[in-house]
Chains A and B, each alone.
Chain A
Amino acid sequence: MSGGQNLPVAEQAGNPRVGEHGALSCGRTLSFSRETRADFDRLLGRYPTKQAALLPTLWLAQREWGWISREAVDYVATLLELAPAFVWGVVTFYTMYNRAPVGKHLIQVCTSISCHLNGAEEVFHECKKRLGGLKTGEVSSDGKFTVVEVECLAQCDKAPAVMVNDDDYFVITKDKLDAFLGGLK
């Protein structure tokens, strides 16, 4: 046998760990707040079928609870009259739905080509180190930070780029990291 080591896929870098194909439970029954419910109702009017509104509805769920739990999947499935399994399939297909709780600031470091050439790998590892040795995807003990690696943020001219929640930050080099992290409250 030549080629790579015979590592099970689940243990190779970047793949979901064992057990992560299944949805985590948040331990309580969920339903949208009145405000989100109003947004949801507005949303439905824009789509020909309920199924078509699945992606934005999941965004609403993520805005409301920060991540998509098993209960959130069941709730969204009920709202849109879909099978929970179908909703879960969609959640797992897209990378930007969080399948586990994340910190208040979800720091997404781009490591695609331009950022990589400008030292993004170092920024990524340094970022985790300075936040108390966080692992990728882990929530810091104060609940404030989660650091993940993402693909291209389409800000190649301002590399290395970092996205925190929905906001872009540009030219975050290693020297600027302390100021950048300090600026996140």
Chain B
Amino acid sequence: MAKVTVDGRVVEVPNDANALEACRAAGVDVPHFCYHPRLSIVGQCRMCMVEVEGVPKIQASCTVPVRDGMVIKASTEKALAARNATMEFLLINHPLDCPICDQAGECKLQDNAFAAGLPVSRTSEPRRQFPGYDRTPIGPHVIADMTRCIQCTRCIRFCEEITETGELTFIERGGHTIVWTHEGKALDNDLSACAADVCPVGALTTRDFRFRKRVWWLDKTRSVCDGCEIGCNISIEHRDRIVYRFLPRVAPAVNDFWMCDYGRFRSEELNRQDFLKPEIRVAGGDAERRQTNWGEALDAVKAAIEKDPSKVRVIGSAFLTTEEAWLLAALCKDSLKVGSPEFTVDIGPKRRIRNKVDGWIYGSEAAPNSRGCEAAGLTRTSSLSSSSPAVLYISDASFSEKCKDPAFVAGLRQASVLIVHARTRNALTDAADIVLPVAPLSGKEGTFVNAKGLVQRIDTAIVSPPVVRTDLEVLLNLGARWNAFDTQWTARDVFEKMQASVAGYAGLAWDSDALVGNPPSISPAAAYDVLGLERDPGVEVFSRPSVTAPDRLP
């Protein structure tokens, strides 16, 4: 560790830290564009200027390794003037299109101009333009607008160092420089939208989110991607009960700063809710299902089960939270006496993500919580047995891709009563006798256990429309009919009740950092988590330096 003094404050930082990281550790915010904790240091943007005692010239702090006893002056007039000049230089050719730019609100150029720039522009010349290289798709998920680019090279380094695909490069030089791909190639890799995340300005933006919502209207809720078993930490960004996008949340041991395109663009799917009320088909078989209320639906479920409990079979799902799986297992064991529920997981396609601890990690199961379900008492099977019970209770009608396959569903339909929890319509729900409408990931609360065995919490982003319930509420209400559960239990209550009996959960606290993970940052481009040195990263602080910036350059 090295002892470094920043503006009179002494901090200890690791020997391989740089001056910028030391400043941040000391709580001094040094504005920057090109520095990113997971990308190589290039000193490209010249924004993070500080004075270092004993060094005559002003330094780009990200390029200065710390040494013991170093004295950094980050807020001197000289440093501020230099940043001012850099900011003014960058703005000479930046279009003033913030009102129509998607990055506005999470743009480092805006932020730094506000914190470190001049209040007025001294140039009146027309801005540089790149006809043919503005508002142009550069890959399947990313739109490029080179008029906004500030040449920080974050996206180029991301493609070289993180995905190792090297699609992007600088073309031309000087004032004509643009970031583009080689002729005929697309920015197309499994993490490509992260290139838009690292872009500090609006030069790269994601196609799916483009023009859909101003970012400052978005509420951010911590969650975990349910696309595969890796369990990338995400922020569900939503407003007025609509999910607009997923962004990765920093999780050094899982997805680090990244998430894959497949997971990211599952967000739109969460807005689909095909079932808004319980539906029930009266005994007899061929009649149409009709909508009903929860009381009648759950009574019907109970009646069907109690007819002959020995002929009831229950199928769980690896999309259930561990709490829900535990309730399901407890209900089967203690009340229905039907033995443990089975579940099966789709395998593949293989997903991957990269973090600094493990390098690439891979996920082949297409569901987030098979480990949690097993720990909670569900039995994993590779193929569901073909016995035809009298009653089949399936706690997730989309537990597998096979649920869309009529032949597979016909096998399950052998049961005389078929009960499903469902959100979206598929072949299985079409065949079901009782459909219980449940909420998507964004409505749930609970924990998932990922491929590395980490227990991670998801929070409720959107409270579902009135009649739709979460799986947890459905199971609690059903269990209450056998006096097994209290309907007022929350996910946290269930978590605490099951801790003793579920492997890996003992000793965990619902509110602990380990479970909750990092909060959604204002933007992933502004997310730091540098070497564990971060102050509470809940809110990005613009510490206005105590020295006022000069109105005019000296």
A6 to B181, Cβ gap below 8 A? no
Chain B residue, CB-CB nearest to A90: B169
- For the complex formed, measure the closest distance between the CB of B198 and the CB atoms of chain A, giving whole angstroms: 17
How many residues of chain B have a CB within 8 Å of chain A? Answer: 28
Cross-interface CB contact of B170 among A8, A82, A89, cutoff 8 Å: A89
- For the complex formed, measure the closest distance between the CB of A158 and the CB atoms of chain B, giving whole angstroms: 29
Supposing A83-B160, A89-B171, A92-B171 touch, asked if A16 and B176 sit within 8 A by C-beta, the answer is yes
Supposing A8-B129, A18-B132 touch, asked if A85 and B182 sit within 8 A by C-beta, the answer is yes
Main secondary structure of the interface of A (DSSP, over half): loop
Chain A residues with CB under 8 A of B554: none
B125 to A21, Cβ gap below 8 A? no
Chain A residues with CB under 8 A of B184: 22, 70
In the bound complex, how far is the Cα of B125 from the Cα of A88, in angstroms? Answer: 31
B173 at interface by CB-CB < 8 Å: yes
A83 to B183, Cβ gap below 8 A? no
A92 to B172, Cβ gap below 8 A? yes
B209 at interface by CB-CB < 8 Å: no
A84 to B176, Cβ gap below 8 A? no
- For the complex formed, measure the closest distance between the CB of B547 and the CB atoms of chain A, giving whole angstroms: 33
B52 at interface by CB-CB < 8 Å: no
A84 to B182, Cβ gap below 8 A? yes
Main secondary structure of the interface of B (DSSP, over half): loop
B170-203 toward A: CB 8 Å interface, digit per residue (1/0)?
1111011010111111000000000000000000
Chain B residue, CB-CB nearest to A70: B183
In the bound complex, how far is the Cα of B172 from the Cα of A18, in angstroms? Answer: 13
Cross-interface CB contact of A86 among B133, B166, B173, cutoff 8 Å: B166
A2 to B182, Cβ gap below 8 A? no
A1-41 toward B: CB 8 Å interface, digit per residue (1/0)?
11111111110000110110111010000000000000000
Supposing A4-B126, A88-B182, A88-B183 touch, asked if A21 and B166 sit within 8 A by C-beta, the answer is no
Cross-interface CB contact of B169 among A4, A22, A89, cutoff 8 Å: A89
Supposing A85-B169, A88-B182 touch, asked if A3 and B131 sit within 8 A by C-beta, the answer is no
Chain A residues with CB under 8 A of B178: 21
- For the complex formed, measure the closest distance between the CB of B203 and the CB atoms of chain A, giving whole angstroms: 15
A137-161 toward B: CB 8 Å interface, digit per residue (1/0)?
0000000000000000000000000
- For the complex formed, measure the closest distance between the CB of B97 and the CB atoms of chain A, giving whole angstroms: 15
B129 to A73, Cβ gap below 8 A? no
A16 to B172, Cβ gap below 8 A? yes
A22 to B165, Cβ gap below 8 A? no
In the bound complex, how far is the Cα of B165 from the Cα of A108, in angstroms? Answer: 38
In the bound complex, how far is the Cα of B172 from the Cα of A93, in angstroms? Answer: 5
- For the complex formed, measure the closest distance between the CB of B479 and the CB atoms of chain A, giving whole angstroms: 57
A83 to B133, Cβ gap below 8 A? no
- For the complex formed, measure the closest distance between the CB of A113 and the CB atoms of chain B, giving whole angstroms: 20
B182 to A73, Cβ gap below 8 A? yes
A9 to B128, Cβ gap below 8 A? yes
- For the complex formed, measure the closest distance between the CB of B328 and the CB atoms of chain A, giving whole angstroms: 50
A85 to B166, Cβ gap below 8 A? yes
B362 at interface by CB-CB < 8 Å: no
Supposing A9-B176, A15-B176, A21-B180 touch, asked if A83 and B166 sit within 8 A by C-beta, the answer is yes
Sampled A-B contacts (6; CB under 8 Å): A5-B126, A8-B129, A16-B172, A19-B132, A22-B180, A93-B173
Given contacts A16-B176, A85-B182, A88-B182, 5 further A-B contacts (CB under 8 A): A3-B124, A9-B130, A82-B166, A86-B166, A89-B171
Top 10 closest A-B pairs, CB basis? Answer: A83-B166, A89-B169, A85-B169, A3-B125, A85-B182, A23-B183, A22-B183, A6-B126, A84-B182, A8-B129
- Chain A positions within 8 Å of B, measured between CB atoms, are 1-10, 15-16, 18-19, 21-23, 25, 70, 73, 82-89, 92-93
